[in-house]
A and B are shown apart, each in its own frame.
Chain A
Amino acid sequence: MAAEEAAAMTPSNEPVRYMERTRLYYRALGYEQDYVWAHYADVPFVRPAKPLAECRIALVTTASPLTAVRDDGSVAKQVWSGSVSPPPERLFTDNVAWDKESTHTRDRESFLPIETASLLAREGRFASLAVHFHGVPTEYSQRKTLTEDAPQVLSRLRADGADAAILCPL
């Protein structure tokens, strides 16, 4: 185990092995069963139906609105939507796993690039940014994501007439 942990922790120029680190961390917390990440052999794929210059594109995040925090400090986990104009200055990210030692999330553009995407749309790289961005919580339950949250996001994207989506998980 010690060698396994050492290998998982060794800094290098290789991409971080998050699944391995997460397994070891939760074992250290006393969880007896490892999380099983989703894994599929087949991947769906569809090309945009029209050129990018004619596409309305939407943004999707795993962050929550500041209002999601309950009085007891817990955070409501549900699909939500926000306006891109004006964009929210700040979002709530403390309930999501990210590297709180190495960086911060005070610049919303670093994880939900509304202004950058708006600028690229104005320059004609694509037709327009959808009027709403959408938030989808990171759930332990893959069943909930697949049967409740993802269909809800799809429905909201369609309501906005989005032709494609850029998904930015923290």
Chain B
Amino acid sequence: MSLVARTLEAAGLPTVIIGSALDIVEHCGVPRFVFTDFPLGNPCGPPDRRDVQRAVVELALGLLSGAEKPRTMVRAPFDWHDPEWRGRYGRLDPAERERLRQLGDQRRARVADRKSRYGM
């Protein structure tokens, strides 16, 4: 999505990203970014929290009108309700090594099959 933001902006259309993968977005470099420190999947706020979702969209609007230079980032002032979430995503359990290796083999086979059928 960072590449889309850059393309739109270069064509003259102002953009703001609302997202939770701070390192990936900053590594790419985008015009405006509202960083929400939530698990991937709910960049605009926790499910059913309309108050937080509204505040996050308002931050995005503020950046659209107020940012003066590229790479302008604001961090939304909200914490996820469960502080343990950061340790869960993509964790590697040593006991799972063989299962992951097999999973990788299955994925490669599936992708090869799809390429042969759809050419993608």
Residues of A within 8 A of B (CB): 5, 9-22, 24-26, 28-31, 37-48, 51-52, 55, 57, 60, 62, 74, 77, 93, 97-107, 109-113, 116-117, 119-120, 125-126, 136, 138, 142, 145-146, 149-151, 153-154, 157-158, 162-170
B28, A37: Cβ atoms under 8 Å? yes
Assuming A48-B65, A154-B8, A164-B64, is B39 touching A102 (CB within 8 A)?
Answer: yes
B61, A22: Cβ atoms under 8 Å? no
Q: Which among A9, A45, A125, A149 is the interface contact of B91 at CB below 8 angstroms?
A: A9
Assuming A99-B39, A101-B89, is B7 touching A45 (CB within 8 A)?
Answer: no
Can you list 27 contacts pairing A with B, beta carbon distance less than 8 Å?
A9-B92, A10-B87, A18-B89, A18-B90, A25-B90, A28-B92, A31-B104, A45-B9, A48-B64, A57-B64, A60-B1, A99-B88, A105-B42, A107-B48, A109-B44, A110-B41, A110-B49, A111-B42, A113-B56, A120-B57, A151-B7, A154-B8, A154-B11, A163-B14, A165-B5, A166-B15, A166-B64
Residues on A with beta carbons closer than 8 Å to the beta carbon of B103? 29
Closest A residue by C-beta to B37: A15
B60 interfacial contact with A, CB 8 Å? yes
Residues on A with beta carbons closer than 8 Å to the beta carbon of B97? 28
B18 interfacial contact with A, CB 8 Å? yes
Residues on A with beta carbons closer than 8 Å to the beta carbon of B8? 150, 153-154, 157, 165
A116, B54: Cβ atoms under 8 Å? yes
Residues on B with beta carbons closer than 8 Å to the beta carbon of A169? 1, 17, 19, 21, 43
Question: When each residue 1-33 of chain B gets 1 if its CB lies under 8 Å from chain A and 0 otherwise, what string results?
Answer: 111111111111111111101111001111100
8 more A-B residue pairs beyond the given contacts A102-B80, A165-B5, with a C-beta to C-beta distance below 8 A: A29-B107, A31-B104, A41-B29, A57-B61, A57-B64, A126-B61, A142-B3, A168-B43
Residues on B with beta carbons closer than 8 Å to the beta carbon of A117? 57
B31, A150: Cβ atoms under 8 Å? no
Residues on B with beta carbons closer than 8 Å to the beta carbon of A19? 23-24, 27
Assuming A28-B92, A46-B13, A116-B54, is B22 touching A15 (CB within 8 A)?
Answer: yes
A125, B61: Cβ atoms under 8 Å? yes
Bound together, the chains give a CA A110 to CA B43 distance in angstroms of: 7
B112 interfacial contact with A, CB 8 Å? no
